[in-house]
């Protein structure tokens, strides 16, 4: 494998913060927001675990997906305000992260793949290395590979906005102001189904993300995201 | 150098803190003045409810209209949540076409009045084919036939200080949550052109399950705000009287 040298040298990494303060703070606020949204989102979903396409859908009408869980009515009423509180937290911290990321060039420096990396060969080899559980050098484990960069960019700029969009598209009041937001999706129930599918994709991303953090060293990565510092003894991992 | 930086950081931090504190203070003052704070604004969840209500009220300030559908789009199934009142009076009314039932409108009005079902049906009729969505997740499209609430409010003469309209249904011991599932809305929703006192649904009399004889119909809020089995409408300026602490869902249902 002809890897390029790590962008951050070992000495630099121990002095300059690995993650800036705004990245660290907004990361954990987003963790809190997404955690609360998944918890309350499941609470809302289980009161009617059937999904439909189009404007309408109810028991007695044809469904698209019947989730194999029982109808549990009740939690959705009191979990709805919890869902919206965490949604506001997510929107505020997410916007702070994106605006700060654009100003500080965080996206361009850390997440935009280099032109030389953007090749199919590179992408396929990165994926196949991971699939084969190939150990990577300590240096490379501290840089983002091209697949990782594209995954982060897709989650930040496609998945999160799409989840917020499909969530807003279920609001009868907002859709009186922006009706096109729901009609382009195919209707109220389509928006609900897409909200569920996109949120499931986010959960899938989170499972992979957390699994990767465990594989490369949970304590050192979490420490880096809290303090910004990379532990000195990391090469002895 | 480091001392200078520290001092500079300190100044920047203090300026930012003072600016954001006064920003939040000004926002709260502005929100209270322009009616952007919902009755259930207290507690940590109240922060989210207030942000949602305030942003919706700012965005919908132009009395935006909910989407209307074609007659061919009316759903085949119209599910019902809850059970009609189980008392003798209600059964007798259902049998006799609500003869003797009256809807009282009082509170902050110039002329408190009460209406029979025929009197309400004698007022200008309007029909809207709109989406009815339950907070549980299901939805249907139906045609709602009734009188515009603002027309009734004009007849009784809303006093300018009125801020909320409280809707009280008959007592219903079938309700698991409370015997009287009352609700309230703000004046913006009350005066909205699609806000109806509905007595008909899909070219028929309003069925018992859907709240006969009259239910409140709000095209821009979720189903749980569409109070069934109405018996009294009261206008008030008191936020506490508009809030139902027994309700666990958000007061504002445009979400």
A–B: how many Cβ contacts below 8 A? 121
Contacts of A179 in chain B (CB under 8 A): 67
Instruction: Tell me how many degrees the CA angle B176-B177-B182 measures, rounded to the nearest 5.
Output: 120
The predicted-structure confidence for B33-55, as pLDDT tens digits, reads as follows: 888 999 999 999 999 999 999 99
Residue B63 CB: number of other CB atoms within 10 A? 13
If you average pLDDT over residues B231-255, what whole number do you get? Answer: 92
Distance, in angstroms, between A169 CA and closest chain B CA? 9
Considering only the beta carbons, identify the residue of A56, A73, A88 that sits closest to B136.
A73
Q: Residue A175 gets which letter from DSSP? A: H
For residue B45, the chain A residues in CB contact (below 8 A) are: 81-82, 85
Angle among Cα A48, A53, A54 to the nearest 5 degrees reads 115
Distance between B206 CA and the closest CA of chain A, angstroms: 20
Interface-testing mutation among B78, B137, B193, B243, with chain A (most A C-beta atoms within 10 A): B137
> pLDDT band at residue A26, thresholds of 50, 70 and 90?
very high
The radius of gyration of chain A from alpha carbons, rounded to an integer in Å, stands at 21
* pLDDT on residue A139: 67
Residue A215 has which token pair? 């594989």
Whole-number Å distance between alpha carbons of A23 and A96: 9
User: Do the beta carbons of residue B254 and residue A172 sit within 8 Å?
Assistant: yes
pLDDT digits (tens, 9 = 90+) for B110-149: 999 999 999 999 999 999 999 999 999 999 999 999 999 9
Give how far A189 is from chain B: nearest CA, Å.
8
Kindly tell me if the per-residue pLDDT of A233 is higher than 80. Answer: no
Closest Cβ opposite residue B45 in set A44, A73, A82:
A82
Question: pLDDT tens digit string along A112-145?
Answer: 988 888 888 888 888 888 888 777 776 677 788 8
Looking at residue A11, its pLDDT comes to 45
**Can you tell me whether residue A104 is helix, strand or coil?**
coil
Closest-CA distance, B254 to chain A, in angstroms, reads: 5
Chain centroid to CA B185: how far? 4
Between strands B183-186 and B204-205, the pairing is unpaired
The CA-based diameter of chain A, rounded to the nearest angstrom, is: 65
Taking CA atoms, what residue in A is nearest to B66? A176
Per the CB < 8 Å rule, is B75 touching A58? yes
B241 exposure class (CB count in 10 Å sphere: 0-12, 13-18, 19+): middle
**Using one digit for the tens of pLDDT, what is the confidence trace for B56-75?**
999 998 889 999 999 999 99
Do the bridges between strand B230-236 and strand B103-107 make them parallel or antiparallel, or are there none, so unpaired?
parallel
DSSP letter string, chain B: -HHHHHHHHHHHHHHHHHHHHHHHHHHHHHHHHTT---TT--HHHHHHHHHHHHHHHHHTTTTPPPP---GGG--S-----S----SHHHHHHHHHTSTT--EEEEESBSS-EEE-HHHHHTSPEEEEEEEEE-TTS-EEEEEEEEEEHHHHHHHHTB-TT--EEEEEE---TT-SS-SS--EEEEHHHHT-TT-EEEEEETTEEPPGGGTSS-EEE-TTS-GGGS--SEEEEEEES-HHHH--TT--S-S----
- Among A193-202, B73-82, B166-175, B176-185, the range scoring the smallest mean pLDDT is B176-185
Report whether the peptide linkage leading into residue B213 is cis, meaning its omega lies within 30 degrees of zero: yes
Model confidence pLDDT, tens digit, residues A74-108:
888 889 999 999 999 999 999 999 999 999 999 99
């Amino acid at each position: 494998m002809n890897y390029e040298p790590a962008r951050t040298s070992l000495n630099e990494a121990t002095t300059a913060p690995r993650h800036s303060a705004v990245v660290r703070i907004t990361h954990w606020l987003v963790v809190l927001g997404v955690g609360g949204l998944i918890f309350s989102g499941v609470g809302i979903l289980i009161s009617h675990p059937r999904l439909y396409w189009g404007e309408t859908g109810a028991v007695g009408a044809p469904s698209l997906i019947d989730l194999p869980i029982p109808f549990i009515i009740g939690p959705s009423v009191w979990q709805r305000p919890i869902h919206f509180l965490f949604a506001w937290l997510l929107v505020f911290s997410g916007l702070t992260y994106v605006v700060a990321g654009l100003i500080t060039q965080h996206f361009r420096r850390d997440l935009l793949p280099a032109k030389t990396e953007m090749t199919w060969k590179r992408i396929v080899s990165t994926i196949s290395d991971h699939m084969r559980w190939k150990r990577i050098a300590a240096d490379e484990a501290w840089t983002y590979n091209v697949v990782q960069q594209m995954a982060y960019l897709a989650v930040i700029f496609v998945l999160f906005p799409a989840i917020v969009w499909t969530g807003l598209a279920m609001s009868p009041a907002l859709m009186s102001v922006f009706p096109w937001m729901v009609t382009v999706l195919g209707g109220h129930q389509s928006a609900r189904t897409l909200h569920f599918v996109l949120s499931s994709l986010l959960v899938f991303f989170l499972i992979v993300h957390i699994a990767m953090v465990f594989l490369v060293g949970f304590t050192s990565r979490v420490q880096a995201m809290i303090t910004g510092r990379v532990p000195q003894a990391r090469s002895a991992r | 150098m480091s001392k200078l930086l520290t001092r500079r950081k300190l100044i920047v931090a203090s300026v930012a803190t003072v600016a954001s504190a006064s920003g939040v203070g000004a926002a709260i003052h502005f929100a209270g003045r322009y009616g952007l704070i919902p009755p259930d604004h207290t507690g940590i969840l109240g922060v989210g409810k207030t942000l949602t209500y305030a942003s919706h009220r700012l965005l919908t300030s132009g009395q935006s209209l909910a989407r209307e559908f074609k007659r061919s789009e009316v759903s085949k199934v119209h599910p019902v949540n809850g059970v009609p009142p189980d008392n003798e009076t209600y059964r007798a009314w259902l049998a006799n076409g609500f003869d003797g039932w009256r809807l009282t409108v009082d509170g902050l009005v110039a002329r408190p009045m009460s209406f029979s079902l025929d009197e309400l049906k004698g007022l200008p009729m309007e029909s809207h084919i709109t989406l009815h969505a339950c907070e549980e997740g299901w939805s249907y499209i139906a045609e709602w036939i009734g009188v515009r609430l603002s027309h009734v409010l004009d007849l009784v003469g809303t006093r300018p200080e009125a801020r909320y309209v409280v809707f009280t249904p008959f007592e219903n011991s079938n309700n698991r949550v409370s015997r009287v599932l009352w609700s309230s809305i703000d004046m913006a929703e009350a005066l909205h052109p699609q806000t109806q006192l509905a007595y008909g649904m899909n070219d028929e009399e309003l069925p018992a399950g859907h709240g006969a004889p009259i239910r409140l119909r709000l095209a821009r809020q979720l189903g749980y705000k569409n109070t069934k089995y109405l018996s009294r409408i009261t206008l008030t300026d008191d936020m506490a009287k508009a809030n139902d602490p027994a309700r666990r869902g958000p007061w504002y249902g445009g979400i």
